[in-house]
Amino acid sequence: MRAVAVAIAAFGAFIANAAVVRADDVPETTPDVLERARPEYDARGIRMGSFFLYPSLTAGGGYTDNVFNEPDGVGDYFYSLAPELKLQSAWSRHELSLSAGAKSFWFGEQGSEDRTDWNLGAAARIDIVRGTDIKFDAALAQLHEPRGTDLTGGLAVGDPAEPTEYARSHLGAEIGHTFNRVRISLGGGLTGFDYDDTPRVLPAVPAAFNNDDRDRTVTDFFAKLSVKASEDTAIFLRGRIDDHDFDALVDDDGFNRDSSGVGLDGGIEFRMTHVLVGEVFAGYTLRSFDDAAFADANEFAFGAGLKWFPSMLTTVRLDAARGVEDTSITAASSFVSTRGEVGIDHEILRNFILSGRLGYENAEYLGVGRDDDILHGSLSGRYLINNSFHFDAGWEYIDRSSTALPFEYSTGQFQFSLTGKM
């Protein structure tokens, strides 16, 4: 804890003595409580030619009452440290942003849960001519899977000795062209997952869980046609194809998990700037599997991502989706995820924002009769101190019920953090 305090103090002193300048252009005013510009509290950035650099360091701690996410919870305190760098272009045309970050956790008693995640990201937009642009994005991350996702336990012999570590990489591109009231978009992506084997609590044979059969590459392509019905509303039709290619020819249970999918959906986009923005859609998805033991998944699909602004002080968010997801659960081909979340952000004061989230997910595992219901919620607040610091504190709760009893658990977690920024 003393090391964390020293790091905060050192970074604060660096901020206080650094030469900084404000960006030339003030971001466009938005009714979104979390995203709107607050010049008296926002990080000013360091001018680097035609770029602005935004460094930050977040230090905090908290308490969780169920470290291993299992039916019988074990509580523990934790501390965290998260440095981050963002580089943003300030060009009149085109756009480029780069990011790098890491987050480390240290636990008071359960040292097996100590971990560090890191990520690198890049996004670019090239404005070819008026109405035509190309977007690129790339990401690389080393992450840890939450306890209870694929493996349960953590204390008994043979249990996973630590969270499962994995790497995620992504490359994506999209080209869009607008003429009159019509916009056509084409794009695709390549996403890779590489899981490390998970050590087991010894003595156990074998000494680790084999996760090689979870490694896979997902390739997807889409085409989208949007037609403006009015100045603020557009109707769209979208089609996609994808391919899930697992590195292992068969998994440890003898199943070939390779699959391919097609989907078609249509919906409405809203751009009523100070009232409602986002989209809702519905459609159909079909996923076929290379292994004859797995039946095709033909499912109704939908999604929504909306922001409603009842006033300039309040933002209401709605996110929902239904689709077919990969799984490594024995004898299950996949699972159908149906999820939704409602969130509210309210500006109590100019420098104090209160946020709440409530969500639900149902995971129906095809072929094995397993069904999970997950309820989650959170309440948090952000206090903006000045251009250099802000303070966050919050509580979150997860309750998971499942027909597979070892995966049932509930957990509550309180955490707080102080962020120094430039």
Quick: pLDDT tens for 265-311: 999 999 998 899 999 999 999 999 999 999 999 999 999 999 999 99
Asked whether 241 and 220 are in contact (CB, 8 A), the reply is yes
- What is the rounded average pLDDT of the residues 203-224? 96
pLDDT band at 417 (very low <50, low <70, confident <90, very high): very high
Q: In this predicted model, what pLDDT tens digit does every residue of 28-63 receive, in sequence order?
A: 468 899 999 999 999 999 999 999 999 999 999 999
Say if residue 24's pLDDT is above 80: no
Assess whether pLDDT exceeds 80 at residue 258: yes
- Per-residue pLDDT, averaged over 91-116, amounts to 97
- d(Cα 147, Cα 162) in Å, to the nearest integer? 8
What pLDDT was estimated at residue 28? 46
Which residues have a Cβ under 8 Å from the Cβ of 225 and sit 6 or more positions away? 182, 183, 184, 236, 237, 238
Q: Indicate the range of 26-35, 129-138, 333-342, 359-368 predicted with least confidence.
A: 26-35
> Can you give the pLDDT at residue 11?
38
Give the per-residue pLDDT at 415. 98
Contact 31, 312 (CB under 8 A): yes
Residue for token pair 């460094």: 55
pLDDT at residue 15 is higher than 80: no
Look at the chain and report how many structural domains it folds into. Answer: 1
Residue 328 above 90 pLDDT? Answer: no
Percent of the chain with pLDDT over 90: 87
Give the model's pLDDT for residue 383. 98
What local confidence, expressed as pLDDT, does residue 18 receive? Answer: 35
Question: Is pLDDT above 80 for 404?
Answer: yes
What pLDDT was estimated at residue 9? 41
For residue 330, what pLDDT is reported? Answer: 87
- Is pLDDT at 23 greater than 70 in this prediction? no
- Looking at residue 274, what is its pLDDT? 86
H/E element, 12: helix 2-17
**For position 166, what pLDDT does the model report?**
98
CATH number at residue 245: 2.40.160
| For range 312-325, the mean pLDDT | 96
The per-residue DSSP string of 235-282 comes to: EEEEEEEEEEEESSSS-TTS----EEEEEEEEEEEEEETTTEEEEEEE
Average of per-residue pLDDT values in the chain = 92
Q: What is the pLDDT of residues 149-194, one digit of tens each?
A: 888 999 899 999 999 999 999 999 999 999 999 999 999 999 999 9
Residue with more model confidence, 257 or 1: 257
Q: Which domain holds residue 16?
A: 2-421
Res 73 pLDDT > 90: no
Residue 10 has pLDDT above 50, yes or no: no
Which residues, 6 or more positions from 260, have their beta carbon under 8 angstroms from its beta carbon? 241, 242, 243, 244, 287, 288
Mean pLDDT of 386-407: 96
Amino acid at 301: A
What's the confidence (pLDDT) of residue 29?
67
Confidence of residue 27 (pLDDT cuts 50, 70, 90): very low
Alpha-carbon span 275 to 277, nearest angstrom: 7
User: What's the whole-number mean pLDDT along residues 384-392?
Assistant: 98
Q: What is the pLDDT of residue 22?
A: 33
